[in-house]
C-alpha cells in the first residue's frame, strides 16, 4: 500500500515526465509517439491505483512541502476527484492511441509536449485543495490549450485562436480577482479552511458577491449561457485529436470547479439555486438550438458540448445528494461519449473528405462498421435506453421532479429530443443518404486501425455503463454523499481540528 | 493608504475595460496587461496593509507579533510570471495572425466563422 503522498503525486508526475520526455525526443517522431503513449499508460495506472484507494469512501489528503494545512498546498482526492482523474487518464490513453494512425498531427513535434501539458493542468486542477493553486493549474491548462489550438497555423486557427485566447485570459483574470477578494474576506486559500471560514463571515451580501464572482469565472470556463461564445468560435478549427481532448476535458474542469466550490465553499442557497437552475436550462436550450442550425459535424458537436453542460449543472442547482450523483454520472458519461463522437467525426472526415454534411453521404455502404459505432455514442448522447446517457439523464430528471422543479425536468427532456434530432441529422446526411455527385475525394487511404481501436474502446465503455449501471450509480451516489457532507472533506484535510490558527 | 490603492485599481480596471472593448488587437493586449496588474494590486490590498516591518523572526524568538503579510507578495509574484508568459504568447499569436491575415481589427476576423454562414444554413455554399 502506497502512502497517500505517493498516490496523490503520481497522477501529476506521469504527465510531467511525459511532457519532459516528449520534448527531449523532439527530433524522433516515432519514438516520441510511443513515449507519449507510454506516459499516458503510466498516468492511467496511477489513476487506477488512486481510484482503488479511494473506492471505499476514504478521502486522501497530503500537504506538499510538509507544511501543515491550511498553510501549505494541499492535494485532496475524494471519490469525485479520483473519478475525474481516472476519466482524464482514460481519455489520455485513448486519444494517444487514436493519434497513432491519424495523419492530422503527424509532423508536428510540438503536439505531444503540449498534450501532456494539458493533461497536467487538468489533473492538477482536479486534485488541488487550494484555490490559488487551482488558478495556477487553470493557467497551465490554458497555455497548453492555446498552443494546441493554433498548432496547425492555418488562417482559420489563428483567427479562432485570437478570440479563444482573449476571452479566456479576461475570464481567468476575473477568477484571480475573485480569489483575491475571497482571501481578503477570510485570510485563507485552503479550500477546506475556506469551507470552515466562509460561513463565519457576517456580511451575507459579501458572501453572495464572492459566490457570484466565482460562478462568473467558472461559468465561462464551463461554457455556460451566456458566456459560451469562445467555444463555437474556436473548437471547430482544431484537429481531431486536439478537438477530442478539448471536448472531453476543458469545459469539464470548469464544471468540476463549480461542483467543488458550490458544495464546499458556498453551499447552494435558495437564490443561488434559482440562478444556477435558470442558467442550466438556458444553457441546455441555446446549445441544442445552435447545434440544430449547423451543417458542419464539428460545429454541431461543439454546440452539443454547451447543451450537455447544462445537464451537469442541474445537480448543482438542486443540491440534493441524488441530483449531485446525477451530475457526477453525467460528467463521466459525457466525457466518454463526446470525445468518441469527435473521434468518429475525424474518421468520417478522412473517409469522405469533408466535415460538411451537405457534401458527403453514403457512408453506411462504404463504412458499415463505422455506422454501427456512430450509433452507440450518438444515441447515448440523446439519452436512449439502454445506453449510458439514459441513466445519466434519469438521474437528472428524477431529482428535479422530486423537489418539484418541473421546469428543469421538462427542459432536460425536450432538449433530449432535440439532441436526437441533430444526431439523426448527422446519421441521415453522412451515413444514409446517397452521396452527392460532386463529393470530395477521400483524404488518405492509410491505416485506420488505431483510430478504430480508440473508438471501439470508448463505445465499449459507453455500453458497459449502459448495460450494467448499478456500480456506476452507486459510485456516483457515494461521491455525492461526500460532496453534500463537507465535514468529511474538511476533516481529511485539516485532520479533525477544525480551527487551526 | 487603502482608498488610494482602491481608486487606482478602479481606474486601471476601467482603462483596461475600455481598451479590451476596442476592436484593435494591440489595444486589447494592453488592456489585458493593465487588467492583470489591477488584479495583482487587488491581491496586495486584500492582504491588508498594516505594518511595514519585514516578516522576519528576530533571534531568540519563535514567532513574530507584527509584520507585513508576506503571502500576497508570493501570490502576486506567481500571478505576474503567469500573466507575463500569457501576454508574451498573445503578442506572438497576434504577430503571426497579422502576418497571415493582415488584419488587426477583430470585427474583420471572419476566417473561422464566415459572416455568410449566419444567413445560409450551409457554410460551404456561402463560400462559393
pTM of the model: 0.92
- In whole angstroms, what is the distance from residue A417 CA to residue A191 CA? 39
Please state the domain extents for chain A: 4-490
**Interchain pair B109, A159: CB under 8 A:** yes
Closest approach of chain B CAs to the CA of A163, in angstroms?
8
Q: Does any domain span residue B85?
A: yes
Q: Is the peptide bond before A226 cis (omega within 30 degrees of 0)?
A: yes
B63 burial level (CB within 10 Å; 0-12, 13-18, 19+): exposed
pLDDT band at A496, cuts 50/70/90?
low
Question: Which chain B residues are closer than 8 Å to A142 by Cβ?
Answer: 86
Q: What is the pLDDT of residue A305?
A: 92
Which residues, 6 or more positions from A141, have their beta carbon under 8 angstroms from its beta carbon?
A118, A120, A121, A122, A124, A125, A250, A253
Q: What is the pLDDT of residue B33?
A: 92
B77 burial level (CB within 10 Å; 0-12, 13-18, 19+): exposed
Of A139, A158, A236, the CB nearest to B101: A158
**pLDDT tens string A205-229:** 899 999 999 999 999 999 998 888 8
- In whole angstroms, what is the distance from residue B61 CA to residue A424 CA? 74
Concatenated DSSP letters of A213-276: HHHHHHHHHTT-TTS-THHHHHGGGS-HHHHHHIIIIIHHHHHHHHHHIIIIIS---HHHHHHH
**For residue A152, is pLDDT > 90?**
no
B56 burial level (CB within 10 Å; 0-12, 13-18, 19+): exposed
**Parent domain of B88:** 2-49+70-127
Q: Which three cell numbers stand for residue B7?
A: 481608486
pLDDT band at B53, cuts 50/70/90?
confident
Question: Which chain A residues are closer than 8 Å to B120 by Cβ?
Answer: none
**Interchain pair B97, A161: CB under 8 A:** yes
Q: What is the pLDDT of residue A67?
A: 81
- In whole angstroms, what is the distance from residue A389 CA to residue A380 CA? 5
Q: Which one, of A192, A323, A166, lies nearest residue B36 by Cα?
A: A166
Q: Does any domain span residue B96?
A: yes
Residue B21's alpha-carbon distances to A234, B17, B32, B36, in angstroms, are 19, 6, 11, 16
**pLDDT tens string A320-341:** 999 999 999 999 999 999 999 9
Closest approach of chain B CAs to the CA of A476, in angstroms?
35
A141, A253 in Cβ contact below 8 A? Answer: yes
Strand partners, A286: none
Q: Which stretch of A74-78, A284-288, A354-358, A370-374 has the lowest confidence by average pLDDT?
A: A354-358
- In whole angstroms, what is the distance from residue A300 CA to residue A346 CA? 14
Q: What is the pLDDT of residue B77?
A: 93
- In whole angstroms, what is the distance from residue B62 CA to residue B57 CA? 7
**pLDDT tens string A280-295:** 999 999 999 999 888 8
Q: What is the pLDDT of residue A437?
A: 66
Residue for cell digits 494541499? A74
Of B48, B89, B111, the CB nearest to A155: B111
- In whole angstroms, what is the distance from residue A484 CA to residue A493 CA? 16
Question: Which chain B residues are closer than 8 Å to A147 by Cβ?
Answer: 89
Q: Does any domain span residue B23?
A: yes
Closest approach of chain B CAs to the CA of A7, in angstroms?
26
Q: Please give the mean pLDDT across all residues of chain A.
A: 89
- Tell me phi and psi for residue B84, to 5 degrees: -60, -45
Q: Does any domain span residue B79?
A: yes
A84 burial level (CB within 10 Å; 0-12, 13-18, 19+): buried
Q: Does any domain span residue B118?
A: yes
**For residue A130, is pLDDT > 70?**
yes
Q: Count of domains in chain B?
A: 1
- In whole angstroms, what is the distance from residue A276 CA to residue A259 CA? 11
Closest approach of chain B CAs to the CA of A363, in angstroms?
20
Strands A73-77 and A60-64: antiparallel
Residue A396's alpha-carbon distances to A42, A319, A418, in angstroms, are 34, 11, 17
Q: Is B43 on the interface with A (CB under 8 A)?
A: yes
Q: Does any domain span residue B37?
A: yes
Q: Does any domain span residue B55?
A: no
Helix axes A297-318, A251-260, angle to 10 degrees: 0
Amino acid at each position: 500500500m502506497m502512502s497517500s503522498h505517493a498516490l496523490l503525486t503520481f497522477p501529476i508526475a506521469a504527465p510531467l515526465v511525459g511532457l519532459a520526455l516528449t520534448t527531449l525526443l523532439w527530433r524522433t517522431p516515432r519514438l516520441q509517439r510511443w513515449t507519449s503513449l507510454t506516459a499516458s499508460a503510466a498516468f492511467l495506472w496511477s489513476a487506477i491505483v488512486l481510484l482503488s484507494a479511494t473506492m471505499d469512501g476514504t478521502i486522501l489528503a497530503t500537504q506538499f512541502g510538509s507544511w501543515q494545512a491550511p498553510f501549505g498546498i494541499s492535494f485532496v482526492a475524494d471519490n469525485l476527484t479520483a473519478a475525474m482523474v481516472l476519466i482524464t487518464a482514460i481519455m489520455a490513453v485513448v486519444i494517444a492511441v487514436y493519434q497513432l494512425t491519424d495523419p492530422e498531427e503527424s509532423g508536428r513535434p510540438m503536439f505531444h509536449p503540449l498534450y501532456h501539458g494539458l493533461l497536467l493542468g487538468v489533473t492538477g486542477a482536479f486534485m488541488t485543495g487550494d484555490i490559488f493553486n487551482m488558478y495556477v493549474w487553470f493557467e497551465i491548462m490554458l497555455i497548453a490549450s492555446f498552443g494546441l489550438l493554433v498548432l496547425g497555423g492555418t488562417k482559420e486557427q489563428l483567427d479562432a485562436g485570437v478570440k479563444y485566447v482573449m476571452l479566456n485570459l479576461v475570464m481567468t483574470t476575473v477568477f484571480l480577482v475573485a480569489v483575491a477578494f475571497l482571501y481578503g474576506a477570510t485570510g485563507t486559500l485552503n479550500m477546506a479552511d475556506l469551507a470552515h471560514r466562509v460561513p463565519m463571515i457576517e456580511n451575507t451580501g459579501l458572501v453572495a458577491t464572492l459566490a457570484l464572482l466565482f460562478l462568473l469565472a467558472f461559468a465561462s470556463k464551463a461554457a455556460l449561457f451566456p458566456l459560451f461564445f469562445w467555444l463555437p468560435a474556436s473548437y471547430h478549427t482544431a484537429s481531431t485529436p486536439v478537438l477530442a481532448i478539448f471536448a472531453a476535458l476543458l469545459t469539464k474542469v470548469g464544471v468540476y470547479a463549480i461542483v467543488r466550490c458550490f458544495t464546499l465553499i458556498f453551499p447552494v442557497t435558495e437564490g443561488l439555486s434559482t440562478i444556477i437552475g435558470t442558467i442550466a436550462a438556458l444553457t441546455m436550450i441555446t446549445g441544442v438550438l445552435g447545434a440544430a442550425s449547423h451543417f458542419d459535424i464539428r460545429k454541431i458537436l461543439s454546440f452539443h458540448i454547451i447543451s450537455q453542460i447544462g445537464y451537469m449543472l442541474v445537480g448543482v442547482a438542486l443540491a440534493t445528494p441524488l441530483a449531485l450523483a446525477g451530475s457526477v454520472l453525467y460528467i463521466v458519461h459525457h466525457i466518454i461519449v463526446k470525445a468518441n463522437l469527435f473521434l468518429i467525426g475525424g474518421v468520417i472526415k478522412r473517409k469522405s473528405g469533408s466535415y460538411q454534411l451537405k457534401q458527403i453521404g453514403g457512408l453506411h455502404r462504404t463504412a458499415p462498421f463505422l455506422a454501427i459505432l456512430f450509433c452507440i455514442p450518438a444515441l447515448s448522447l440523446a439519452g436512449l435506453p439502454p445506453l449510458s446517457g439514459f441513466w445519466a439523464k434519469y438521474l437528472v430528471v428524477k431529482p428535479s421532479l422530486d423537489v418539484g422543479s418541473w421546469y428543469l425536468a421538462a427542459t432536460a427532456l425536450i432538449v433530449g429530443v432535440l439532441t436526437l434530432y441533430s444526431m439523426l441529422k448527422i446519421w441521415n446526411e453522412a451515413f444514409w443518404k446517397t452521396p452527392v455527385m460532386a463529393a470530395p475525394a477521400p483524404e488518405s487511404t492509410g491505416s485506420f486501425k488505431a483510430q478504430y481501436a480508440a473508438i471501439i474502446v470508448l463505445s465499449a465503455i459507453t455500453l458497459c455503463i449502459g448495460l450494467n449501471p448499478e456500480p456506476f450509480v452507486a459510485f456516483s451516489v457515494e461521491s455525492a454523499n461526500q460532496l453534500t457532507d463537507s465535514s468529511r472533506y474538511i476533516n481529511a484535510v485539516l485532520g479533525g481540528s477544525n480551527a487551526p490558527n | 493608504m487603502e482608498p488610494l490603492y482602491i481608486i487606482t485599481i478602479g481606474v486601471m480596471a476601467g482603462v483596461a475595460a475600455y481598451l479590451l472593448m476596442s476592436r484593435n488587437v494591440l489595444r486589447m493586449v494592453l488592456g489585458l496587461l493593465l487588467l492583470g496588474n489591477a488584479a495583482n494590486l487587488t491581491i496586495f490590498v486584500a492582504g491588508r496593509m498594516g505594518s511595514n516591518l519585514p516578516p522576519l523572526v528576530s533571534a531568540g524568538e519563535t514567532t513574530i507579533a507584527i509584520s507585513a503579510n508576506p503571502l500576497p507578495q508570493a501570490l502576486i509574484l506567481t500571478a505576474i510570471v503567469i500573466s507575463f508568459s500569457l501576454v508574451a504568447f498573445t503578442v506572438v499569436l497576434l504577430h503571426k495572425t497579422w502576418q497571415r491575415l493582415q488584419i488587426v481589427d477583430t470585427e474583420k476576423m471572419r476566417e473561422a466563422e464566415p459572416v455568410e454562414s449566419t444567413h445560409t444554413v450551409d457554410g460551404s455554399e456561402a463560400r462559393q
